[in-house]
Amino acid sequence: MERGISTKCLHLEEDEQYTKNYGAISFPIYQTATYAHMGVEKSTGFDYSRLQNPTREHLEKIVATLENGTDALAFTTGMAAITLLMELFAPGDHLIVESDLYGGSIRLFNNVSRKKGITFSSIDCAKENVESYVNEHTKAIFIETPTNPMMNVTDIQALAKTAKERGILLIVDNTFLSPYFQNPLDLGADIVIHSGTKYLGGHNDTLAGFLVTNREDISEKFRFLLKTTGAGLSPFDSWLILRGIKTLGIRMEKAQQNALEIVEWLGGKRQSVTKVIYPGLEAHPGYEIMKKQSRGFGAMITFQLESKEFALSILEKVRMIKYAESLGGVETLITYPTTQTHADVPEEIREKNGITEATLRMSVGIEDVKDLIHELTEVFKETEEELYGRKES
């Protein structure tokens, strides 16, 4: 019988020698840089922690299992993972990328990858005909779904079919939903990316990134590049992510439940909120695709306010909800994309994607939702009275 995903967060199928031999329930931190050999050309399987470490290896096996991949590699950050990924490509190669990506990815492509002679077509993959942008130099399609921060949803299976027909890679950043809610490899993707800092870690206490694949040829290239470039995750940080993954299921369920209630509150005849963007709303254009390709809608909400002044006032006034640049942790965070996550994205591109100075992004945590809604009610009320002298119902 195949184990459920919450069980997979805790246990690998095979018996682990660390539990069998010593009874350890929490996987140990192997805080060592190098390993002694038993003799010439004899190895324990570990030689130097830049190549591999038992704690990191255990974490990688867990993440690969959760994504139904054959291999996962753990990196110091999500951007370190994407940076290594881009080493698959050579000068003259062309990539099709989602236009509404995390700002760090856009910054990397525009300021580092382009200098290496890689070219990009940045498009709305949810709406445009992706195949029409494929040319003889195209090597990959790179998407997020839902996107950051505008929650655009792309049909992974349909895009995978196009990619395979044209002999190119499909790369999916799955950070927003985590492997608990979505598994792009099962839908035909070749590579999955995670910022492990976010839902996998879940506690806003460490940084990590992952690349996951079910292709042996890609795995071999990644392993060689990781050995060569040296951005593997440290033993202690690997252990922190392992610890976080143990509660991934219950955190995702609770955060999503809270998000659904906050979405309802935001949309409740509030004059100051002009738009609520959440893929779990039936009115969202990607709602049916989400139902088909994922097991949930996640806990990320983007909403538009009636003015920049209103948005800034909310950021100034929140207390328990923290004004901070991240997502996916147990605490609820609110982010201002214009000056935080997407500050390095040119203004005209931000505006084209729908990111304005009145846009806020919320990562809903696992607090009691009544406390979150109480704070939002108070903050919105204070802002309404301060800016406009009016009271909302």
Annotated catalytic residue within 8, 93, 102, 155: 102
The Cα–Cα gap between 383 and 272 comes to 10
- The H or E element that residue 235 is part of is helix 235-245
114 is catalytic: no
CATH class of the domain comprising 248-388? alpha beta
Work out whether strand 359-363 and strand 71-75 pair parallel, antiparallel, or are unpaired: unpaired
Of the listed 71, 100, 155, 173, which one is catalytic? Answer: 173
Q: Where are the domains of the chain?
A: 5-245, 248-388
Element (H, E) at 203: none
Is 291 assigned a catalytic role? no
Q: Which of 198, 254, 350, 361 is catalytic?
A: 198
Q: What is the pLDDT of residue 268?
A: 87
Tell me whether the omega of the peptide bond preceding residue 235 falls within 30 degrees of 0, making it cis: no
291-308 in b/e form (b: 16+ CB < 10 A) is eebbebbbbbbbbbbeee
Nearest to 192 by CA among 363, 63, 62: 63
- Catalytic annotation on 100? no
Residue 8: count of CB within 10 angstroms of its CB: 20
Please give the Cα distance from 95 to 168 (Å, whole number).
9
CATH classification of 5-245, choosing from 3.40.640.10, 3.90.199.10, 3.30.1360.120, 3.40.50.300?
Answer: 3.40.640.10
Is there a shared CATH topology between the 5-245 domain and the 248-388 domain? no
List per-residue pLDDT tens for the chain, 393 residues long: 788 999 999 888 765 555 566 778 888 999 999 999 889 988 888 999 999 999 999 999 999 999 999 999 999 999 999 999 999 999 999 999 999 999 999 999 999 999 999 999 999 999 999 999 999 999 999 999 999 999 999 999 999 999 999 999 999 999 999 999 999 999 999 999 999 999 999 999 999 999 999 999 999 999 999 999 999 999 999 999 999 999 999 999 999 999 999 999 999 878 999 999 999 999 999 999 999 999 999 999 999 999 999 999 999 999 999 999 999 999 999 999 999 889 888 888 898 889 999 999 999 999 999 999 999 999 999 999 999 886 655
- The upper half-sphere exposure of residue 42, i.e. CA atoms within 13 Å in the direction of its Cβ, equals 5
* 50 given a catalytic annotation: yes
